[in-house]
Structure 1
Amino acid sequence: RRNSPLLLCQFFYLKSQKNIKEFLFFLKKRRSEIRNCRIRDRERERERERERKREREREKRGMEGANNVKIVALLIICLSVGALLVKAEDPYLFFEWNVTYGTIAPLGVPQQGILINGQLPGPRINCTSNNNIVVNVYNKLDEPLLLTWNGIQQRKNSWQDGTPGTMCPIMPGTNFTYHFQVKDQIGSFFYFPTTSLHRASGGFGALDVHSRNLIPIPFDKPADEYNVFLGDWYNKGHKALKKMLDGGRTIGRPDGIHINGKSNKLGDKAEPLFSMEAGKTYRYRICNVGMRTSVNIGIQGHAMKLVEMEGSHTVQNMYDSLDIHVGQCLSVLVTADQEPKDYYMVVSSRFLKQAISSVGILRYANGKGVGSASSDHLPTPPPNNTQGIAWSMNQFRSFRWNLTASAARPNPQGSYHYGQINITRTIKIVNSRSQVNGKLRFALNGISHMDSDTPLKLVEYFGVAEKTFKYDVMGDEPPTPSSNNNKVVTIAPNVKNATFRNFVEIIFENEEKTIQTYHLDGYSFFAVGIEPGKWNPEKRKNYNLVDAVSRHSIQVYPNSWAAIMTTLDNAGIWNLRSDMWERNYLGQQLYFSVLSPSRSLRDEYNLPDNHPLCGIVKSMPMPPPYK
């Protein structure tokens, strides 16, 4: 039909020519062509339909593919988040310690000491900022034991602080696993036992916290690091010293000074404590772990560059010698730039009527060796009289915060402007020495602390604090002078309420003739001022409100005052104590109760499952957990 006009023309042409056979043949041929065309048309239509079907299937598969891509993408995201969460869980370091008695002789006199894994000093914890530290402590002594981690802030976690006010002790023959994080901290710290007078018999060791790799330190990496533990020492063991204090007497003057549990005199052919290679620089992390005596340290022929103090990078001044008070730590860099031979490290007492000292040997590798140390040109000790106090005060004022260096976080230390924060509370604390019922006691504002049978933290957590202690028996000001010269002392648990996140000023005033040292758990503070005389509000104009070092301990010189500032942003119960352990044991300490109003896990962790219970809370039902 489509070709009918053409066929008609052809028909009339052929008819005119009278060739009918040819026309019929032609017509048959055209019919065949038309049939083939129709077949091809139908085939093309079927092909187009198949193509449309394939297109619909492709679209369907595309949608399914898109959905699969979404699912895969979501899976990848979930896996990535999971990986990030795994990565966010900071590394764990595990330790297992056996605390035992053992024979030691720091001053050459054999006596019973406290060892950790058979060592004095104990094992070093060498970690990095934000690491999780897990220490399983087996108490193999014959008396209860606690270890504290001096200077570690235990963010939200006073459960692990290791003081009698926060934890039940580890009983003989049992173990306890400490688990804490060195959150946002760097620096040189140490651990030691807080129970009884165990500190007098050892049990101390290093806790060094390094910066993360992504945060630069403000000095070149040293060739090596050494831990140096200094302190006074008594030849009587801790049990004999405790008996003296319990009987109302003082433990008296120490018998000597040790360096890493050893003591030597000039001329002794002793083994070297430390080794250095010529031309290299070394970091010495130095801590005073003694009982009551400030010390001075110097290294023969070598200057010391101060770089860190109790978790803060300092302005890098050079010193021939440094005063280090009880409980304090610092880091210095020493370059081996002298003739290769032996040199003396000299440690001497401060502010004692009769000085005591000890030496250790620093040996150059490939140097002259044994006997090459000379007593010539030893470090000149600072004076020990009133001039010595002024000398030490001036040295304290030379310690400055390095404002441009980063510590545990990337931002510079100086980005925290503590001097611009309004003070919300001032607490003035005066220490005193008294007799109560014929026995020696030490007090703060007339309150001599006494540990309770149940730790303060536990009775507060279980809601039964009123059965154990009263808050704020000590005022924010010392009692007014009375006819007995302000010597009336009350023996009781000393717990002060404090407001969470308040910025407080604490003034220590020392009216005695002996130097004091204080330590605050749970926080670092700015040591803004030390001066002779009595404190009054006018003294604030002399504060260092720009670059005071952020630290955890402060010394208070005789007849002088010291001022610190801190933000109470760490919920828990925290010990403010004399670091002179005789005074601490006889009451010169207190606890701050810093509760979060929200009682939230955001601010404080719950009681750990493995935390031992004792005293009145042992059989009580558990309180509702924080959420």
Structure 2
Amino acid sequence: MAVTVRVAAGVVLALSALLALAQAEDPYLFFEWKVTYGTKNLLGKPQKVILINGEFPGPRINCSSNNNIVVNVFNQLDQPLLFHWNGIQHRKNSWMDGLLGTNCPIAPNTNFTYKWQPKDQIGTFFYFPIIGMQRAAGGYGAITVVSRLLIPVPFDPPPPESDHVVLIGDWYTKDHEVMARMLDAGRSVGRPEGVLINGKGGPDAAAAPMFTFEAGKTYRFRVCNTGIKASLNFRIQGHDMKLVEMEGSHTVQDMYDSLDVHVGHCLSVLVDADQKPGDYYMVASTRFIHDARSVMAVIRYAGSNTPPSPNVPEPPAGWAWSINQWRSFRWNLTASAARPNPQGSYHYGQINITRTIKLMVSRGHIDGKLKYGFNGVSHRDTETPLKLAEYFNVTDGVFSYNQMGDVPPAVNGPLSVIPNVITAEFRTFIEIIFENPEKSMDSLHLDGYAFFGVGMGPGKWSPELRKTYNLLDAVSRHTIQVYPRSWSAIMLTFDNAGMWNIRSNIWERHYLGEQLYMSVVSPARSLRDEYNMPDNALRCGKVVGLPMPPSYAPAR
């Protein structure tokens, strides 16, 4: 006999809600940006600056781990535009990396919507415009990713009273298009005219308090060097700083009276308001360049009318101090949080290296014009983005793989100016050595990954120097500095399929070719490893009008 089961409407609704919850995506945050030029009086001179919704620096993207970030960018400049999300790993999604090797530019008077996710990430990052020398004109802002509410943060209670962003960077008063023409003509852009802190420089930075302290409280400062050339030393008059995070990794919480922050690098410190109420200077000064520049902003204790002391602490001297400070940084292995994805577990020092790539900075002249590169190859961008050419299998006439060797040539010859793309086998553990034979600092960045910065030192690298590596608790991050005539070593697993940029953060070097792309292809062609090309992806070059390639198979 058939039995009829009647279910109350309320029960059906409850079951539907539970099913929807089980299938729900992570929360979405939506942003709409209008990107324009504006005039700002910086360092005592009016100049053209890139604004986002009329702001410089641009709006802060404040989100939680795994949030879906949707940014609709309206390009109201008179030239193409792309935004890069510096330090966001874009798991399986180099489509949203915002580089000329992965994306077609956003044409003037058009818009494009980025969608990305800080997957399994926390920490401090920033975004900036990537094309040409636009980065020297502003358009940058902070990205802060906090842990989910149920994940404990390794800070002593109570939590920080406030969470402040401090964007410091050198600044040029030359127009960014003038700087590009100087480089195109074989000239250097020279040294910066000054330093900005949160978009203010000179007397304007200290004209009014930038932050306010309440005595007895603790404050978090997220500091990023958003400049294009100079390492900076950051310090707060009369206050020590507790380092707690670097580029997505909680660190061992040591105390510092000043910290070197290199170009493209970010970190977080906790500062106790434990001094006599008054005004105090927050200072950023250039390092390792002649004609040093500084900027000072004021932190005021609530109710204070005492001006800052004129005795401002000087920055440290020399790079030996700086490298020793770097050696003091350690990953906090006991912290609970979303972690960046080096995918080497905590025991990366016990994983066999399958390949060593040694990247030596190359410098030379072609037709009298200065160029930079790696291992004798100076990168140039292509009309068809490399990722699109690879995805549509139209690489002929666009680029060839592995034109650069894993080791620099024994004899320095003329630089080759070509699209520089090398391949990495999926999920292999690789060691990369950066050597900087120049007299100036370098800062290197790898998109799509966090890596372990295991070692650095003066002179040339040799295999014996592996004995000096930190194979236990090196901080997992995405940038590393290379001191003059020195080397730095990193290790990572190439498990994030896509087309990823390795580049100098020194933007003059980057513009002149010190970059390459790493193609990491999953043999499975599965959505488990990489997303399909988004429906809204812009097309340009050889892929215009081509039919879509077969989609990747669903993950099994």
Is the structural similarity TM-score above 0.5? yes
**Residues 538 and 71 of structure 1: is their aligned pair in 2 closer, same or farther, counting only changes over 3 Å?**
farther
CA distance, structure 1, for counterparts of residue 21 and residue 223 of structure 2: 39
Residue in structure 1 matched with residue 3 of structure 2 by the alignment: 64
Residues 432 and 487 of structure 1 are in contact (CA less than 8 Å); yes or no, is this contact kept in structure 2? no
- Among 444, 466, 483, which residue is 1:540 paired with? 466
Residues 321 and 379 of structure 1 are in contact (CA less than 8 Å); yes or no, is this contact kept in structure 2? no
Residue in structure 2 matched with residue 366 of structure 1 by the alignment: 303
Gaps of 5+ in 2: none
| 1:354 CA drift (Å) | 2.2
How is 1:116-135 mapped onto 2 (pairs within 5 angstroms)? 116-135=52-71
Structure 2 counterpart of 1:352, which letter?
I
Residue in structure 2 matched with residue 271 of structure 1 by the alignment: 208
Residue in structure 2 matched with residue 26 of structure 1 by the alignment: none
Q: Normalized per residue, which structure has more strand?
A: 2
| Residue 222 (structure 1) aligned with residue 150 (structure 2) | no
- Among 407, 431, 435, which residue is 1:477 paired with? 407
CA distance, structure 2, for counterparts of residue 285 and residue 607 of structure 1: 34
Residue in structure 2 matched with residue 194 of structure 1 by the alignment: 130
Residue in structure 2 matched with residue 148 of structure 1 by the alignment: 84
Residues 344 and 351 of structure 2 are in contact (CA less than 8 Å); yes or no, is this contact kept in structure 1? no
Structure 1 counterpart of 2:517, which letter?
Y
How is 1:328-343 mapped onto 2 (pairs within 5 angstroms)? 328-343=265-280
Of residues 166-175 and 419-428 in structure 1, the stretch that sits farther from structure 2 once superposed is 419-428
1:294-350 per-residue CA deviation (whole Å, 9 max, x = no partner) reads: 010110000010000000000001001000000000000111111111101111111
Structure 1 counterpart of 2:498, which letter?
G
Residue in structure 2 matched with residue 580 of structure 1 by the alignment: 506
Residues 61 and 144 of structure 2 are in contact (CA less than 8 Å); yes or no, is this contact kept in structure 1? yes
Structure 1 counterpart of 2:201, which letter?
S
| Residue 375 (structure 1) aligned with residue 375 (structure 2) | no
SS in structure 2 at match of 1:273 = strand
How is 1:393-408 mapped onto 2 (pairs within 5 angstroms)? 393-408=323-338
CA distance, structure 2, for counterparts of residue 243 and residue 410 of structure 1: 38
| 1:466 CA drift (Å) | 2.1
- Among 105, 116, 121, which residue is 1:169 paired with? 105
1:53-95 per-residue CA deviation (whole Å, 9 max, x = no partner) reads: xxxxxxx6xx726x66899999976763333112xx1000000
Structure 2 counterpart of 1:187, which letter?
G
| Residue 96 (structure 1) aligned with residue 32 (structure 2) | yes
Residues 249 and 340 of structure 2 are in contact (CA less than 8 Å); yes or no, is this contact kept in structure 1? no
Structure 2 counterpart of 1:381, which letter?
P
Residue in structure 2 matched with residue 518 of structure 1 by the alignment: 444
- Among 192, 199, 218, which residue is 1:281 paired with? 218
| Residue 111 (structure 1) aligned with residue 41 (structure 2) | no
| Residue 262 (structure 1) aligned with residue 190 (structure 2) | no
**Residues 319 and 618 of structure 1: is their aligned pair in 2 closer, same or farther, counting only changes over 3 Å?**
same
After the TM superposition, which parts of structure 1 deviate over 2 Å for at least 4 consecutive aligned residues? 67-83, 413-416
**Residues 131 and 400 of structure 1: is their aligned pair in 2 closer, same or farther, counting only changes over 3 Å?**
same
Residue in structure 2 matched with residue 419 of structure 1 by the alignment: 349
TM-score by length of 1: 0.85
SS in structure 1 at match of 2:396 = helix
1:362-392 per-residue CA deviation (whole Å, 9 max, x = no partner) reads: 11111115xx11112x223101xxxx11100
Residues 215 and 410 of structure 1 are in contact (CA less than 8 Å); yes or no, is this contact kept in structure 2? no
Residue in structure 2 matched with residue 428 of structure 1 by the alignment: 358
| Residue 84 (structure 1) aligned with residue 22 (structure 2) | yes
* RMSD of aligned alpha carbons: 2.1
| Residue 622 (structure 1) aligned with residue 552 (structure 2) | no
Residue in structure 2 matched with residue 235 of structure 1 by the alignment: 173
1:429-483 per-residue CA deviation (whole Å, 9 max, x = no partner) reads: 00022111110100100000000011000000000112200100110000002xx
**Residues 224 and 422 of structure 1: is their aligned pair in 2 closer, same or farther, counting only changes over 3 Å?**
same
- Among 383, 389, 398, which residue is 1:453 paired with? 383
Residues 29 and 67 of structure 2 are in contact (CA less than 8 Å); yes or no, is this contact kept in structure 1? yes
Of residues 342-351 and 184-193 in structure 1, the stretch that sits farther from structure 2 once superposed is 342-351
Identity percentage over the alignment? Answer: 62
| Residue 550 (structure 1) aligned with residue 487 (structure 2) | no
Q: Which structure carries more relative contact order (alpha carbon 8 Å, separation 6+)? A: 2
Q: Normalized per residue, which structure has more helix?
A: 1
| 1:494 CA drift (Å) | 0.3
| 1:106 CA drift (Å) | 2.4
CA distance, structure 2, for counterparts of residue 99 and residue 576 of structure 1: 27
- Among 234, 250, 263, which residue is 2:188 paired with? 250
- Among 437, 443, 446, which residue is 2:373 paired with? 443
TM-score by length of 2: 0.96
SS in structure 2 at match of 1:327 = coil
CA distance, structure 2, for counterparts of residue 333 and residue 137 of structure 1: 34
1:176-213 per-residue CA deviation (whole Å, 9 max, x = no partner) reads: 00001111000000000001110000000010000001
CA distance, structure 2, for counterparts of residue 269 and residue 600 of structure 1: 54
Residue in structure 1 matched with residue 537 of structure 2 by the alignment: 611
CA distance, structure 2, for counterparts of residue 334 and residue 346 of structure 1: 14
Structure with higher Rg: it is: 1
**Residues 72 and 381 of structure 1: is their aligned pair in 2 closer, same or farther, counting only changes over 3 Å?**
closer
